[in-house]
Amino acid sequence: MAVNKTINKRTNTHGAMRNCIEYVLRQDKTSELLTYVTGPCCYDEINYDLVYRTFLEEKKMWDKDSGRMYAHNIISWHKDEQITPEQALEFGKEFAENWFSGFQTLVAVHKDKDHIHCHLVTNSVSYEDGRKLHNTRKDLERMKQLTNQMCRERGLTVAEKGKHFNGSQIEKGEVIAWSKDKYNLFRQQVKDSFVADCAMAVLRALENCISKEKFIEKMKQFGWNVNWTEKRKHITFQNQDGKKVRDSNLSKTFYLDISKEGLENEFDGNRQKFRGNREENELARYYRQVEVACTGSGEDFGYSDNREKRITGEIPEVERVYSGISGENSQFEDRKTETLLRESRIARRNSEIKRRDSVSDNRIVRNAEAESIASAEQRRSEEQEWFEEQERARAARRRNKRRSGPEL
């Protein structure tokens, strides 16, 4: 399963382009055998300085050394995907030659993580006619389709919406969508992220909530005002600090249906569950009365001597007379009683199963929240480490520049 992601970062400076090329060609992440440059490249070896100079020379040739400098894409495969680094390099080369035809593209395969991924850094100026690179939203969708087509041709898994790599369904509450903006929201502890706080408040407010008005009231108790009007397509949540979250953002990030229709369906389900529980309680109370009557305790029949009967085991005269009169119907009554008791046990068992399912659903949501916390911490640590490494590299370059004098 290949995921092709376009990195939306600031790409309009020479320094940004140089830093990106330097990162992609780091020796601790790739090797020269796993790198390639499409288009004209007059150097025998590939290193970040030569690739940077090649891109820069092409821009100056067409007098387009301003604006967007480069495009950065990452094609990543699932850790269980049967693909080698060499095959990933061929995949990246073919994709670059098809999609970025006429543009110089640096292709480098990284194998430092638990999954293989391929970086593509593309010069924004074409070496054929000097046109600038431009991708629209429709182009991004076609890029996804091309990636899936190449996976099918190679017998690789194709990503399916709402499913994991192994084909299992993504659980409700699981974090599945990550962008730069969303990642920054989770860089700190989840408790400090207003997006995660809003999602938790929505889940708590939905518990046993049967109407829109009750939901808005509960959200207000949790510190969130809800703007839910018929004139607007989306629901907007706003906390006391003025920070806003849209329902579509929560739905995409946590794989939850928090749209207007989805919440109304939750309310309907809770109402049906409430009615069902009430009916089950009434039925269970009736069956308990039947059981009491069938045990012979006489509590519901107004016997004044039932305590004496339980102690001595004697049958009152009135019961002996009644037994003689109704002897012919006793077997029928016994079968009827057994049927009622059996139905009672089935009803209680079904109620217990529903309760356990509800507990299981809550446990799944809590596990998903814990996984999102761990994932956010790991991503924050990795990005902080990358920033520190970049800062050390820039400091080293400044020291070397001071020692060697100005560059020629």
pLDDT digits (tens, 9 = 90+) for 290-343: 666 665 544 444 444 444 444 344 444 444 444 444 454 555 555 666 676 677
pLDDT at residue 367 is higher than 80? no
Same domain, 102 and 185: no
pLDDT given for residue 7 in this prediction: 83
pLDDT at residue 188 is higher than 70? no
In angstroms, rounded to a whole number, what is the distance separating the alpha carbons of residues 139 and 103? Answer: 16
Under DSSP, the state recorded for 133 is P
In angstroms, rounded to a whole number, what is the distance separating the alpha carbons of residues 240 and 104? Answer: 50
pLDDT given for residue 70 in this prediction: 93
Same domain, 145 and 198: no
- Whether the pTM exceeds 0.85: the reply is no
Residue ending a domain, choose from 150, 168, 186? 168
> What is the pLDDT confidence band of residue 369, given thresholds at 50, 70 and 90?
confident
pLDDT given for residue 279 in this prediction: 62
In angstroms, rounded to a whole number, what is the distance separating the alpha carbons of residues 35 and 328? Answer: 94
Same domain, 208 and 258: yes
Domain boundaries, position 21: 2-168
pLDDT at residue 68 is higher than 60? yes
Q: How far is CA 306 from CA 286, 295, 402, in A?
A: 21, 12, 105
Same domain, 57 and 186: no
Same domain, 45 and 69: yes
Same domain, 110 and 224: no
Residue ending a domain, choose from 168, 188, 214? 168
> What is the pLDDT confidence band of residue 146, given thresholds at 50, 70 and 90?
very high
> What is the pLDDT confidence band of residue 283, given thresholds at 50, 70 and 90?
low
Output 370 or 267, whichever has higher pLDDT: 267
pLDDT given for residue 306 in this prediction: 45
Among 107-111, 164-168, 257-261, top mean pLDDT goes to: 107-111
pLDDT given for residue 308 in this prediction: 40
- Report the percent of the chain where pLDDT is more than 70: 71
Per-residue pLDDT tens over the stretch 192-244? 578 888 888 888 888 888 899 999 999 999 999 999 998 888 999 999 889 89
In angstroms, rounded to a whole number, what is the distance separating the alpha carbons of residues 78 and 91? Answer: 15
Q: Which two tokens mark 84?
A: 């080698």
Q: What is the mean pLDDT of residues 355-381?
A: 75
> What is the pLDDT confidence band of residue 251, given thresholds at 50, 70 and 90?
confident
Q: What is the mean pLDDT of residues 76-105?
A: 91
Same domain, 43 and 100: yes
Structural domain tally of the chain?
Answer: 2
The CA-based angle 332-335-336, given to 5 degrees, is: 85
Output 124 or 345, whichever has higher pLDDT: 124
Same domain, 137 and 272: no
pLDDT at residue 179 is higher than 50? no
Same domain, 103 and 30: yes
In angstroms, rounded to a whole number, what is the distance separating the alpha carbons of residues 22 and 52? Answer: 9
Mean pLDDT estimate for the chain: 77
Residue type, 400: N
Q: Which of 71-85, 121-135, 171-185, 288-302 has the lowest mean pLDDT?
A: 171-185
pLDDT given for residue 335 in this prediction: 65
> What is the pLDDT confidence band of residue 277, given thresholds at 50, 70 and 90?
low
Alpha helices in 301-329 (DSSP H): 306-312, 317-325
What CATH number corresponds to the domain at position 64? 3.30.930.30
Produce one character per residue of 169-184: b if its CB has 16 or more CB atoms within 10 Å, e if not: eeeebbbeeeeeebee
Q: Find out whether 91 and 99 touch, Cβ atoms under 8 Å.
A: no
- Report the percent of the chain where pLDDT is more than 90: 25
Residue 269, number of CB atoms within 10 A of its CB: 12
Same domain, 274 and 320: yes
Same domain, 127 and 194: no
Region of 405 on the Ramachandran plot (φ > 0 left; ψ -120 to 50 alpha; else beta): left
Residue ending a domain, choose from 168, 194, 226? 168
pLDDT given for residue 291 in this prediction: 64
Same domain, 250 and 378: yes
Q: What is the mean pLDDT of residues 31-60?
A: 85
Q: DSSP string spanning 227-264?
A: E--TT-SS-EEEETT--EEEHHHHHHHHT---SHHHHH
pLDDT at residue 74 is higher than 70? yes
Q: How far is CA 345 from CA 129, 340, 353, 356, in A?
A: 80, 9, 12, 17
Closest to 224 measured CA to CA, from 206, 190, 232, 182:
206
Output 161 or 91, whichever has higher pLDDT: 91
pLDDT given for residue 294 in this prediction: 61
> At residue 226, what are phi and psi to the nearest 5 degrees?
-115, 125
> What is the pLDDT confidence band of residue 286, given thresholds at 50, 70 and 90?
low
pLDDT given for residue 90 in this prediction: 94
Q: What is the mean pLDDT of residues 351-360?
A: 72
pLDDT at residue 26 is higher than 70? yes
